[in-house]
Amino acid sequence: MLEGYSIIAEALMSLKPSVVVKETPTQKKGGGFRKHAFREGTWMQSIFSWCFFTLGWSMMCRSVTTAETLLTQGSWWIDCMRVEGLKTKGDQFGEKGHPRHVYANPLKPSDCPILALAVKTFCESCRNMESSSNIFDGDFQEDRFAHLLQTALSKLPEQCVKKLTHVGAVEDIGTHSLRKGSVSYVLSLIGGPSVIQVFLRACWSLGNVLDRYIFADAGGDQFVGRAATGMPMTDSSFATLPPHLKPADFVQISEHGWSNLLPGYEHYPACFQGVIPYLFASIVYHEEFLRQNLDAQHPLFSTTIFTRGYVEKYRNRILVGEWKCEESGMVATGVPHSILILARMDRCDAKQDQHTKKLEQLQTDMANYIDQRMSDLPSQVAREILKTVHVEGAVPLTEEGVLKMMGSMEKKLHEDVGEMFEKLSRQISSINPATVRESVTSEHTARTGTVQLNTVGVCPEFDTFSWANPRYAKMKDQPTWHPVPKGFVLPKSNVFDGWMFWHFGNSRYETGNPPIVKKIAPYSQMVQMDLDLKSEAQQLSRMKVVMEQVDAVTYEQGHIPQGVRICTLSFTEASTVFQQTFPRLIQSLYGESGGKRLGSQSIKTLYELQLKTKKTLLQAQLDPMVPSESIEVQLEI
């Protein structure tokens, strides 16, 4: 949907006058015809249609409403242009309508309504007192746009036509396609605006009850407006700010006079005059794009801002950022909290990369300095000793001897420096948010008497995830670090795969949409607070009982020497050990017939079988006459 919008926007933006040859009869004797070259169309067709298309798409309104939009309805509000009082079918005077927020898209200039409006505004300068207050001057501008839209579609390359035909025939694309296409695109976004917010922006009825009790608010319309512009919702660039001037440059131009940049500036409505600085900044920021995609003869390059050097002067001084600009104080609106989290994560990654580069550079510089000093030190020491020490009756002290002595000192110094860097690297790698789990590890040790290795804290190759577990009242509002993402489900695997996950983790766990590969730490390092689903917490308890039983049989049978941890084995070694251990475990649970079912048991099945076996043993110890069903047994967890 968005790809089709971009194709049409680029086609309208690149429309240019065409030259045709016509024949007219001559006035000379003998008759005949003379050929003349005529230009069909003007540059304003492209300027008009591009602006009309992008504004109509962004505002989600009927083409008639777009054509009748006034300059007095537009104003700048924080980081977007706000259009108020638009007419609808049910509100011909615009008294009930809510403001529409129109955002810039610096990431895709051809789709940006602010840039399209900027080109139109600066190409239609020299306003006067008698100029129309409409953005699109003239009657029946919707019909004019419909004609130009069909003209642009007829000139599309074959490959673009094929892309558009995925959503329908090209002939069926008309003025109402802007509104329907924009609404359909925004509603198709995963995690995008709600249906109610989109319907309110499009001024579609929600029913008597909904129309009476649900009203539009700025936040919802801002979210819809930002999404309709086409900025991606999958990363922090969704919170991109529009191009804008530095405060000092804005003051400088205001003192110089905006009429020097845009002739007729004083005849624009006061509310729209606040929009013009951002239109100018958008043109300056996208200068390279405009030169590459517009014809060299385009009227824009003949305007005052180009011919008098204003674009060149402020070319590298335009501010654009994400979420918040520290210099201008502009803050992105219409951004959900998920995008804010992504922005903060990106900043953390950037800072971490910066610190890593500094540390690597420091290490390189220090090593170079030591090598340089050590290479000069032996000869300097030898020279100083020979100058100050007089040797009699002994082997004379030579420079070669001193060099040999200093060589051993250099070797020792390098070893000490290497140990220092290794220690520093270990300290840096241990700075992991997951170290907060040490308290859980200590609690586990105190409760069970066994030492639990905190793999998440000492193995930075595994990923960690921050979220609040709603199952714990004290922590439901306080995010903590976990070795698994929220909503993690233990795999419904066989015992062998579960045993491998238990000791070695899962290095190819896919999460999210599109899927992202994550590395999950060994499941043996999980505790119940790491799982927000109660059923999975129970499954973890069952899994722990089964895996500890397998490990116990492994050490009892001598397949692994006491004191050797299973996680230190290679995959092949661990697989061999399990193949030797598991038949013995199955035989102890199933008896002699257990070998026939080897490998088909689930973790839950073995847990229940272990529970049943323990009941039977307890019954035999207490009273053989008591049925095992009446004995309640719980395996130690």
Residue-wise DSSP of 211-226: HHH----HHHHHHHHH
Please state the φ and ψ torsions of residue 569, each to the nearest 5 degrees.
Answer: -80, 160
Distance (Å, whole) CA 574 – CA 114: 62
User: Is 60 exceeded by the pLDDT of residue 322?
Assistant: yes
Arithmetic mean of pLDDT over the chain: 76
Beta strands 516-520 and 506-511: pairing type?
antiparallel
Domain boundaries, the chain: 2-335, 338-387+399-429, 434-574
Distance (Å, whole) CA 60 – CA 237: 23
Name the DSSP class of 134: B
Contact 374, 417 (CB under 8 A): no
Q: Is the dihedral of CA 238, 244, 246, 248 positive or negative?
A: negative
Residue 485's pLDDT band (boundaries 50, 70, 90)?
confident
For the segment 579-611, what is each residue's pLDDT rounded down to a tens digit? 888 888 877 776 655 444 455 567 777 788 877
For the segment 396-424, what is each residue's pLDDT rounded down to a tens digit? 556 666 667 667 777 777 777 777 766 66
pLDDT number for residue 475 = 67
For the segment 75-90, what is each residue's pLDDT rounded down to a tens digit? 999 999 999 877 666 6
Put residue 445 in one of left, alpha, beta given phi > 0 → left and psi -120 to 50 → alpha. Answer: alpha
User: Is 70 exceeded by the pLDDT of residue 192?
Assistant: yes
> CATH says 2-335 is which class?
mainly alpha
pLDDT number for residue 441 = 41
Contact 225, 103 (CB under 8 A): yes
Contact 49, 149 (CB under 8 A): yes
pLDDT number for residue 469 = 82
Q: How far is CA 29 from CA 24, 25, 32, 109, 570, in A?
A: 15, 11, 8, 57, 103
Distance (Å, whole) CA 543 – CA 523: 9
Output 438 or 526, whichever has higher pLDDT: 526
Output 35 or 184, whichever has higher pLDDT: 184
Residue 458's pLDDT band (boundaries 50, 70, 90)?
very low
Put residue 547 in one of left, alpha, beta given phi > 0 → left and psi -120 to 50 → alpha. Answer: alpha
pLDDT over 70, % of the chain: 69
Name the DSSP class of 68: T
pLDDT number for residue 20 = 46
pLDDT number for residue 274 = 93
Q: How many Cβ atoms from other residues are within 10 Å of residue 313's Cβ?
A: 14
Distance (Å, whole) CA 166 – CA 7: 13
pLDDT number for residue 182 = 84
pLDDT number for residue 526 = 87
Beta strands 506-511 and 18-25: pairing type?
unpaired
* pTM for this model (two decimals): 0.55
User: Is 50 exceeded by the pLDDT of residue 63?
Assistant: yes
Output 230 or 13, whichever has higher pLDDT: 230
Coil vs helix vs strand at 356 = helix
- Among 76-90, 285-299, 493-507, the range with the most confident prediction by mean pLDDT is 285-299
pLDDT number for residue 343 = 72
The radius of gyration of the chain's CA atoms, rounded to the nearest angstrom, is: 37
Structure token digits, residue 189:
């976004």
Q: Which of 56-70, 153-167, 546-560 has the lowest mean pLDDT?
A: 153-167
pLDDT number for residue 396 = 59
Residue 116's pLDDT band (boundaries 50, 70, 90)?
very high
Distance (Å, whole) CA 92 – CA 86: 9
pLDDT number for residue 276 = 94
Output 484 or 476, whichever has higher pLDDT: 484
pLDDT number for residue 488 = 86
- Among 209-213, 452-456, 457-461, 482-486, the range with the most confident prediction by mean pLDDT is 482-486
Average pLDDT over residues 134-140: 85
| Amino acid at position 493, single letter | S
